[in-house]
Amino acid sequence: MMTKSLRYYCIPRNFSTLLLSTAISLMLFSCGQKQEQSTADSTTDTENTAQENVENTTKSEDKKVILFFGNSLTAGYGLEPEQAFPALIQKKLDSLNLDYQVVNAGLSGETTASGDSRLEWVLERQDIDIFVLELGANDGLRGIPTEETNRNLRSMIAKVKEANADAKIILAGMMVPPNMGPEYSNRFQKLYPAIAEEENVMLIPFLLQNVAGETELNQGDGIHPTAEGQEIVANNVWQVMKDAIEEIPNS
C-alpha cells in the first residue's frame, strides 16, 4: 500500500489559459453530437479489443503489469493501437529495459458508472502492479452529478486496493468546459485532487495538458489527440509513472 503523501506533477503555470483552451476543445465535442455517435459506433470494436488485451495477457514471473483503465482517450480513438499513449509508455519502458507489461483496457464511451461495473471483470482476470484510472470526461460532458462521479471513482479505487493491496494507483485528472455552468465546472475541477489526496493515490492533474485546445494536436472532432498529441499525453503520464515505478521493489 502506498504510504507517501500526495504529490502534484506538471501543474500548468498559466492555469486559466489552459482551462480556456480545454473548454474550447471540449465544447467542440459536446456541441457536435455527430462525433458522439461516431464514438459510440466504435464502442463495440474497442470493447472487443479491451477484453482481448486483458484475456490474452498472462503475467510472467519477471514482468510487472501496468493496466490502463479508461475511455476513448486511453483506447486511442481514431488511431492505430501502437499510437495510443499506453503503447507509447510500453516503448518507453522497453527503451529503459524495465520489465513491465502494459495492458490497454480503454473502452470508448466509458463513463465512471460503466467503468465501475466493468472493473470487477478485469480484476478477476488480471494481476496489477500499477493501475492508471482515466475516467470521468464523459461524465462531465453529459452533466452527470459530480457526486456520482466522485462515488464511482472512489469505488473503483477501493476495488483495486482490495484486489491488489500493493498496487500503485494513478488517477488521471480531467476538466469540463464552463458552459456546463461555473458551479459544476468548479466542482468537477476540484474532484480529482480531492480524491487523490483522500484516497492516497498519485495524481496527474490534467491528462491533456498542452494538448487540449491545440488544433494541430487533435483530430477533427477537437477532442481526441492525434498521434503527435498522444506523444505529449504519454509524457504527461510518464512524469508521474516514473515515480510510481521507483517505489516498487525490484523495478
First to last CA, the chain: 16
Q: What is the pLDDT, as a whole number, of residue 45?
A: 59
The 10s digit of each residue's pLDDT in 2-53 is 444 344 344 444 444 444 444 444 443 433 343 444 444 455 555 656 666 6
Is the Cβ–Cβ distance between 153 and 188 less than 8 Å? Answer: no
Q: What is the pLDDT, as a whole number, of residue 179?
A: 80
Q: What is the pTM of this model?
A: 0.81
Sign of CA dihedral 181, 24, 134, 5: negative
* Residues with catalytic function: 72, 221, 224
SS3 9: coil
The 10s digit of each residue's pLDDT in 218-232 is 999 999 999 999 999
Q: What is the pLDDT, as a whole number, of residue 251?
A: 73
Is the Cβ–Cβ distance between 232 and 210 less than 8 Å? Answer: yes
Q: What is the pLDDT, as a whole number, of residue 139?
A: 97
The 10s digit of each residue's pLDDT in 134-187 is 999 999 999 999 999 999 999 999 999 999 999 999 999 999 877 889 999 999
Look at 183 and 62; give whichever has higher pLDDT: 183
Q: What is the pLDDT, as a whole number, of residue 59?
A: 53
C-alpha cell, 183:
458551479
All structural domains of the chain, each given as residue ranges with its CATH number in brackets, are: 15-246 (3.40.50.1110)
The mean pLDDT of 97-109, rounded to a whole number, is 97
Angle at 210 between CA 79 and CA 237, to 5 degrees: 70
Judged by average pLDDT, the poorest of 62-66, 67-71, 114-118 is 62-66
20: amino acid identity, one letter? L
In angstroms, rounded to a whole number, what is the distance separating the alpha carbons of residues 18 and 24?
A: 10
Q: What is the pLDDT, as a whole number, of residue 198?
A: 98
Q: Please give the share of the chain, as a percent, with pLDDT higher than 90.
A: 71
